[in-house]
Amino acid sequence: YGPPSAQKAAYGIPEDLTAAAPSNLQLVWGPGTFGYLPSDLEEFYATYNVTGATTADVRPFGFRGTVGGDNFMEATLDVTYISSMAPHADTVVANTNSSASTEETFGFGYALLAFSHLLANAGLSSSASSSSSSSASIIPLPTVVSMSLGSLSYDSCHLICSTVANDTSNAYDYSDCEAYMSTQRQVCMYDSGSVVDRINAEFLKAASRGVTLLAATGDGGSHFSFGAFPTNDAMGQALNAASCAYALPTFPAESPYVLGVGGEQWNQDDGTITPEAPIYWAAGGAGFSRRFEMPDYQRDAVDAYLTSPSTTLPPASSFDPTMRAYPDVVALALGIPLIVNGTQYTTGGTSASAPSFAGVVSLLNAIRLRGALPPLGFLNPRLYAAAGSWGGAESMFYDITYGNSSCGGDGYNCGNGFVATSGWDAVTGWGSPRWEGLVTFLTDDSLPTMTVV
């Protein structure tokens, strides 16, 4: 059970710490029905005794969303946890495209492309009127952006559709697979590699301007976006067989310019919850990109994982070990309380992990900004250097050494996946946050410098 106070206690974050600092702006984004009710936040802060959080620090940007929509619940989860983990940071809930086409399939990819372009170009702005499907206003550039929405990458979807189409044991062609995928919610939301490349280029620009980008890695282990395809029809069965043969990355988490946030849960021995001894959350997205080469900043950590005698890997044919690996970190993904439209829920997934970890980054940025240092910006190179060659891993993260990525969020087990081990691994990254170590290694610029690649 992980309300903000319990998560802060687990990570060692002082309950009364705030993220108040000049220009410390954190943002969550989504299209379609993405939005929130201030009354839900007020009720949540009061019910769960969130110290310092107030709706006065939260504002919408663009469209307000639609109560009852799936993305509305997502937005409420995102803003609830980022604002609760980092109270008094200026917090923006951005919806830059309200079209229904952006919520489930290819329209999402183009909405993310448009948002990434706005983000990379000195403030979120649009000349379109507020009555159209695009937003019309300008806000300052954020220091932290959390993205919980995404899907299997274009390359993942292309691979499994090609596999099904080339399988002579069925009569399906590629277009049959594409048509079927369009009926699956938030599974394949990019219609070309070009769209993904263009988004990634904008992410690089934003990161170079001081924005820390974080994304949920998905809730399908290393094989799915959420869970298995329907098992009661032939196409779903064919896609499950194809998916289980490969490690299938999600985007935007696979981007080398994004901090990919996976999931953990808290160990329970004899009914006692021990958050300081976390274990993996079985459905957290994990693996290796099929588009982006491994960045230099993570090469040593990933090579150590791949070559360790204690590492168990899926079949060599299922992934490319020369590509970008993720997750980078994890946060709690199970037993997450939430209030939406006045109703209390318990939810979870990496959609909860990403905004919580984003709030931790905002707290770190507040320390830096109050000390006249720039925000962390493109965090990945420094985080890997600090945890690796600087020797900070043990003090920065709770290392998770148990778990694997073979299952989807529905429990469907492919029988193969990556396995957690000591140090960085392709199931839980470096692990879950430990506050004192993060402060030591990420708020002091007198520590060693590194080359950002």
Which residue is catalytic, options 40, 74, 104, 155?
Answer: 74
Q: Helix or strand or coil: residue 325?
A: strand
User: Cis bond leading into 252, ω under 30°?
Assistant: yes
Confidence grade of residue 267 (pLDDT, cut at 50, 70, 90): confident
Q: What per-residue confidence (pLDDT) applies to 270?
A: 56
Percent of the chain topping pLDDT 70: 93
Q: Does 351 participate in catalysis according to the annotation?
A: yes
**DSSP 8-state symbol, 405:** S
Choose among 85, 98, 88, 100: nearest CA to 146. Answer: 85
Say yes or no to pLDDT of 195 above 80.
Answer: yes
Q: CATH code for 4-442? A: 3.40.50.200
The upper half-sphere exposure of residue 354, i.e. CA atoms within 13 Å in the direction of its Cβ, equals 36
Could you give the residue ranges of the DSSP H alpha helices within 231-294?
234-244
pLDDT at 279: 77
Interval 338-356: pLDDT, tens: 999 999 999 999 999 999 9
Q: Which two tokens stand for residue 311?
A: 């590492």
Q: For the residues of 185-221, what is the DSSP string, one character each?
A: TTTB--S-HHHHHHHHHHHHHHHHTTPEEEEE--SST
Residue 304: burial class (beta carbons within 10 Å; 0-12, 13-18, 19+)? middle
If DSSP codes are grouped into helix, strand and coil, which group holds residue 146?
strand
3-state SS of the chain: helix, strand, coil percent to 5?
35, 20, 45
pLDDT beyond 70 at 134: no
Considering the candidates 40, 57, 78, 328, report the single residue annotated as catalytic. 78
Q: What is the structure's pLDDT at 410?
A: 82
254 is catalytic: no
pLDDT at 273: 60
The predicted model gives 266-275 an average pLDDT of: 66
Sorted by where each begins, the domain ranges of the chain are: 4-442
How far, in Å, CA of 242 to CA of 17, rounded?
48
Which one from 135, 153, 222, 351 is the annotated catalytic residue?
A: 351
Per-residue pLDDT tens over the stretch 104-116: 899 999 999 999 9
pLDDT at 136 over 50: no
Per-residue pLDDT reduced to its tens digit, 151-189: 999 999 999 999 999 998 888 999 999 999 999 999 999
CB count, 10 Å around CB of 194?
Answer: 11
Instruction: Measure the CA–CA gap between 26 and 219, rounded to whole angstroms.
Output: 24
pLDDT value at residue 94: 96
Calculate the alpha carbon distances from 230 to 160, 244, 264, 328 in Å: 15, 14, 26, 30
Residue 70 assigned ligand-binding role: no
The confidence score (pLDDT) of residue 161 equals 97
pTM above 0.75, yes or no: yes
pLDDT of residue 140: 75
Please, what is the angle between helix 4-11 and helix 350-370, to 10°? Answer: 60
pLDDT bucket at 132, cuts 50 / 70 / 90? very low
Q: Can 162 be counted among the known catalytic residues?
A: no
Burial 283-295 (b: 16+ CB within 10 A, else e): bbbbbbbbbbebb
d(CA 66, CA 44): 19
**Is residue 425 marked as binding?**
yes
Alpha carbon of 142 to those of 30, 155, 271, 348: distances in Å? Answer: 15, 30, 41, 26
Write down the mean pLDDT value for the chain: 92
The CA distance from 147 to 212, in Å, is 11
- Residue 139: band (very low, low, confident or very high) from pLDDT cuts 50, 70, 90: low
Residue among 25, 12, 2, 109 at smallest CA distance from 398: 12
The owner of tokens 């309300």 is 3
Instruction: Measure the CA angle with vertex 214, ends 24 and 367; round to 5°.
Output: 30
pLDDT, position 272: 60
What is the dihedral angle through the alpha carbons of 126, 128, 131, 132, rounded to the nearest 10 degrees? -100
